[in-house]
Amino acid sequence: MASPPRGSVAAKVTAVDAHAHVLRRDAPLVAERHSKPLRDATVEDYIAVLDAHGVSHALLTAPSFYGPDNSLLLEALDGYPMRLRGTVIVNPDLDERALGHLARRGVAGIRLNWVRRDALPDLRSADYRALLERVKTLGLHVELYLEGPKLAHALPALRASGVRVVVDHFGAPDPAQGTDDPGFRVLLDAVRAGDTYVKLSAPYRLGGVDPQRYVDALLDAGGPAQLVWASDWPFVSFEDAITYRQCLDWLAAWVPDEVARRTILVDTPRRLFGFDRPLSTRAREEEMRP
């Protein structure tokens, strides 16, 4: 892939990285967390990595350990509005005006990072039903990170709300069950229905299982149009074990067909995350909303 121009503007989409983080060790952390940043990872660092590998655009994902404080991510979006979009963690009572303001700054969705929780929030509660309706009205998506066995309960509730869903890290199936994990089977049904997308990302978080079986099952269920690729940069908790080049090489091995790979790298994420229209268009649409 040819390198895109440096700076805040990329002439065209050459590839989209659908999952990465910007981190600062001195930023406040929430009390209930399962990880923490071991080093700083600035947006400038990340843009340099993208440029070095010919990746033009990316989706920044809010890490769980900052909770609903999205300030670091939003600053990054403000600095590179043509190249970056983001997903944020929000409280369920966030109103439509505030959510619309986030959309105008480049937010493409909200993130539910509910991994390693004993109890999950009720997606059918009044607060969450109202939040999901606001997400749908604004044309955003819901990004979900949850262990496969729990996915079987959460994903149907999300889909029932009518939102588009993007599931992190292959759906995180139980390694002992693999493609027979009930949550992964529910995920395949959702992919077939066309309202759910899956990130081919972070295979090192799958308990040592070769992800090829998941890739093949997902391709069979929905084809490449329901898949996106992501690096998971800067590989939190695996910082010294993974390289960006490895992540790209994994995708080439999982999906050897060049046409299918382009759909995953370019066509689907360009449309899904809003890189096919400028933020100014979205801003005008929101200003016209009563």
110: in domain: yes
11: in domain: no
CB-CB contact of 83 with 47 (8 Å): yes
pTM: 0.91
163 class by beta-carbon count within 10 Å (0-12 exposed, 13-18 middle, 19+ buried): buried
Which residue type is seen at 265?
Answer: L
Nearest Cα neighbor of 34 from 114, 104, 149 is 114
133: in domain: yes
Q: Residue 288 pLDDT more than 50?
A: no
Provide the β-strand partners of residue 166.
Answer: 143, 197
9: in domain: no
CB-CB contact of 218 with 259 (8 Å): no
What pLDDT digit, counting tens, does each position of 162-187 carry?
A: 999 999 999 999 999 999 999 999 99
- How many independent structural domains does the chain possess? 1
145: in domain: yes
CATH code for position 250: 3.20.20.140
Mean of pLDDT values over 282-287: 44
The predicted pLDDT at position 70 comes to 96
8: in domain: no
What pLDDT digit, counting tens, does each position of 215-267 carry?
A: 999 999 999 999 999 999 999 999 999 999 999 999 999 999 999 999 999 99
Range with the poorest average pLDDT among 69-73, 192-196, 282-286? 282-286
Of the pLDDT bands very low, low, confident and very high (cuts 50, 70, 90), residue 289 is very low
Its domain, for residue 262, covers 16-287
What is the SS3 string spanning 49-89?
Answer: HHHHCCCCEEEEECCHHHCCCCHHHHHHHHHCCCCEEEEEC
Alpha-carbon span 71 to 208, nearest angstrom: 34
Of the pLDDT bands very low, low, confident and very high (cuts 50, 70, 90), residue 290 is very low
Instruction: Write the CA distances from 67 to 36, 136, 228, integer angstroms.
Output: 12, 22, 25
Nearest Cα neighbor of 21 from 166, 260, 234 is 234
Alpha-carbon span 263 to 187, nearest angstrom: 20
118: in domain: yes
7: in domain: no
CA atoms within 13 A on the CB side of 65: 17
Of the pLDDT bands very low, low, confident and very high (cuts 50, 70, 90), residue 39 is confident
